[in-house]
């Protein structure tokens, strides 16, 4: 029902050098006056074939390249190269200026004997996108204590879950309690900042990826530190200086990566939290509007943006809400476009040619983007071992469980759907959802990372290896 939501957001916004300011519904009705319209500038040196953030440009997981993608690959077919990483992880690779950047962790929680948290390390590795050769690597000592490697949370993703982001000059990595670090493309550390060392009640670790906001006035790195400090934090990309920090207890249970909506007169920072969707000013961190969201107690998938509409999908048993951005205060009556009983789990929905594609538990579904009506559905092929293990099996040694966490990607008009078991389904990106091919890569560390696409190549990351797939 249009009036049914359980609570209103409460914020504390801390711009640099300003006193703590508590914001509630009253603030939501007045933040518009503090907003100066700006446009979002393009990334300084990002090219059309760069995949510079989690789920690619715009966070939509759709490649804009008009380059053919191979339909079939495997351990000995159309595999251009593979490179073992110094550790494990589920963060996705990014590709910028011919370089692959990817994070991993080692020393603890990797399935070794007698592991100690004291030995936990993080790694940032830079590879040549064409050859897979390592250009440089960095090892970072962990800030301790971390959340323990114990089920059900941390064992599902480990300690390298946040995908890096790049503005074409620096690469930025978020490492949970170890903080945020900026490197140049030669591997030199430029700055480092903490976003807190706290833990959520469940101690499941953190996983949201950082994003960039750029305008004529400022260039910001925005970090969701829901687990570390129940806050969103923005840093100047050049200096690392904190520009604003917005604290909200309602961020607890949020593992979702935020997104940006470009409107005629402004840009909204949008985020899904348990029970709600928030629209914020990316330059101040102040709340502009909010609506009801999925009824789940946690959020994992990211908000999808198509033009000025935000789509937020629920988890298992949740629902999906489409809401138009650009409002003020409570927009439940004025801006909700549609809502439907579309449930997902961890992957983010994808919009393509008027349809919304949702993957969960071995099933891909297509919905009308304008109405939320289902127009197609397909159960994907699975191996005998998949059926025997089930999605809730305990994590194996060196593997992050058997649940599918990754988001599919659309490239060359085809949906590419990874499974944790190393199967990659290639499907027509139409409501018919015809299976073109099912490919297999053999890797006992599993595939929980979302694919990246650049120059007609797929970059697929298992727990411990990066694979480059393309026409041989």
First vs last Cα of the chain: how many Å apart? 54
Instruction: Provide the pLDDT for residue 209.
Output: 97
For the residues of 90-107, what is the DSSP string, one character each? -PPPEEETTEEEEEEEES
**323-345, pLDDT tens digit by residue?**
999 999 999 999 999 999 887 77
pLDDT band at 379 (very low <50, low <70, confident <90, very high): very high
Grouping H, G, I as helix, E, B as strand and the rest as coil, residue 200 is: coil
Distance CA 345, CA 333 (A): 27
Most confident of 73-82, 194-203, 340-349: 73-82
Q: Which of 166, 161, 133 is nearest to 51 (CA)?
A: 166
CA 26/CA 89 separation, integer angstroms: 42
| pLDDT for 385 beyond 70 | no
Contact 454, 464 (CB under 8 A): no
Considering the entire predicted model, what is its pTM? 0.88
pLDDT of residue 200: 79
Which pairing describes strands 363-368 and 231-236: parallel, antiparallel, or unpaired?
A: unpaired
Cα–Cα distance between 53 and 454 in angstroms, integer? Answer: 12
- pLDDT of 45 higher than 90: no
Q: Is the dihedral of CA 464, 302, 343, 293 positive or negative?
A: positive
Answer whether 296's CB lies under 8 Å from 274's CB: yes
Is residue 389 predicted with pLDDT exceeding 80?
A: no
Q: Each residue of 405-455: pLDDT tens digit?
A: 899 999 999 999 999 999 999 999 999 999 999 999 999 999 999 999 999
Q: Is the pLDDT of residue 27 over 50?
A: no
| Cα–Cα dist 413/416, whole Å | 10
Q: Which of 276, 435, 431 is nearest to 369 (CA)?
A: 431
pLDDT at 288 over 80: yes
For residues 23 and 197, which has the higher predicted lDDT (pLDDT)? 197
CB proximity list for 150: less than 8 A, separation 6 or greater: none
pLDDT at 223 over 60: yes
Among 443, 453, 452, which Cα is nearest to 420's? Answer: 443
User: Pick from 163, 180, 139: which is nearest to 90 by CA?
Assistant: 163
Nearest to 311 by CA among 297, 325, 326, 331: 325
- Backbone phi, psi, residue 289, to 5°: -155, 165
Give me the pLDDT at residue 295, please: 75
For the chain, the average pLDDT equals 86
The answer to whether residue 18 scores a pLDDT higher than 60 is no
The sheet with strand 423-428 has its strands ordered as: 409-411, 414-418, 423-428, 435-440
Query: Per-residue pLDDT averaged across 228-243, rounded?
Result: 97
- The count of other CB atoms within 10 Å of the CB of residue 79 is 16
- Of 339, 382, 386, 383, the closest CA to residue 364 belongs to 382
SS3 for 152?
coil
Gap between the Cα atoms of 310 and 320, Å rounded: 10
174-183, 197-206, 303-312, 463-472: which range is least confident on average? 197-206
Half-sphere exposure of 402 (CA within 13 A, CB side): 14
Give CA–CA dist 143/441, Å, rounded: 34
DSSP class of residue 378? E
The answer to which of 40-49, 156-165, 252-261, 356-365 has the lowest mean pLDDT is 40-49
| Nearest Cα residue to 263 out of 307, 317, 226 | 307
Beta strand 259-262 with 242-247 is unpaired
Contact 197, 177 (CB under 8 A): yes
Task: State the CB neighbour count (10 A cutoff) for residue 335.
Answer: 21
**Beta strand 287-292 with 329-330: parallel, antiparallel or unpaired?**
parallel
Average pLDDT over residues 131-137: 98
Residue 48 has pLDDT above 80, yes or no: no
What region, left, alpha or beta, does residue 288 occupy, with left being phi > 0 and alpha being psi -120 to 50 degrees? alpha
Phi, then psi, of 161 in degrees rounded to 5:
-110, -15
Q: Is the peptide bond before 145 cis (omega within 30 degrees of 0)?
A: yes
């Amino acid at each position: 029902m249009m009036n049914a939501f359980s609570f209103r957001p409460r914020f504390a916004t801390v711009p640099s050098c300003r006193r703590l300011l508590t914001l509630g519904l009253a603030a939501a009705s007045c933040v518009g006056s503090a907003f100066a319209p700006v446009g979002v500038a393009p990334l300084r040196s990002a090219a059309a074939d760069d995949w510079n953030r989690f789920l690619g440009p715009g966070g939509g997981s759709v490649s804009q390249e008009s380059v053919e993608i191979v339909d079939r690959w495997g351990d000995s077919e159309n595999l251009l190269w593979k490179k073992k990483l110094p550790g494990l992880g589920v963060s996705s690779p990014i590709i910028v200026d011919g370089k692959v950047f990817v994070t991993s962790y080692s020393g603890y929680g990797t399935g070794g004997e007698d592991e100690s948290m004291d030995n936990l390390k993080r790694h940032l590795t830079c590879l040549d996108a064409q050859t897979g050769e390592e250009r440089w690597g960095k090892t970072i000592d962990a800030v301790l204590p971390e959340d323990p490697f114990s089920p059900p949370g941390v064992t599902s993703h480990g300690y390298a879950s946040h995908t890096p982001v790049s503005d074409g000059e620096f690469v930025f990595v978020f490492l949970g309690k170890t903080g945020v670090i900026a490197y140049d493309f030669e591997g030199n550390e430029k700055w480092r900042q903490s976003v807190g060392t706290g833990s959520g009640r469940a101690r499941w670790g953190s996983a949201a990826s950082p994003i960039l906001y750029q305008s004529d006035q400022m260039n910001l790195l925005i970090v969701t530190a829901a687990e570390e400090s129940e806050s969103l934090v923005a840093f100047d990309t050049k200096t690392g200086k904190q520009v604003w920090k917005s604290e909200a207890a309602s961020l607890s249970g949020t593992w979702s990566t935020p997104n940006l909506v470009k409107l005629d007169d402004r840009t909204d920072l949008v985020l899904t939290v348990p029970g709600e969707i928030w629209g914020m000013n990316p330059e101040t961190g102040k709340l502009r509007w909010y609506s009801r969201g999925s009824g789940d107690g946690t959020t994992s998938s990211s908000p999808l943006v198509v033009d000025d509409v935000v789509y937020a999908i629920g988890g298992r048993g949740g629902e999906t809400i489409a809401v138009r951005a650009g409002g003020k205060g409570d927009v439940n009556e004025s801006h909700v476009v549609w809502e439907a009983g579309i449930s997902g789990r961890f992957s983010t929905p994808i919009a393509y040619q008027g349809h919304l594609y949702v993957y969960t538990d071995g099933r891909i579904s297509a919905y009308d983007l304008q109405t939320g009506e289902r127009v197609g559905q397909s159960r994907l092929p699975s191996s005998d071992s998949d059926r025997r293990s089930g999605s809730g099996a305990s994590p194996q040694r060196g593997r992050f469980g058997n649940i599918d966490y990754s988001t599919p990607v659309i490239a060359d008009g085809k949906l590419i759907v990874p499974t944790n078991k190393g199967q990659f389904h290639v499907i027509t990106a139409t409501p018919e959802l015809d299976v073109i091919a099912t490919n297999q890569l053999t890797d006992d560390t599993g595939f929980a990372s979302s694919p990246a696409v650049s120059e007609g190549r797929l970059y697929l990351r298992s727990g411990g290896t990066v694979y480059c797939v393309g026409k041989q």
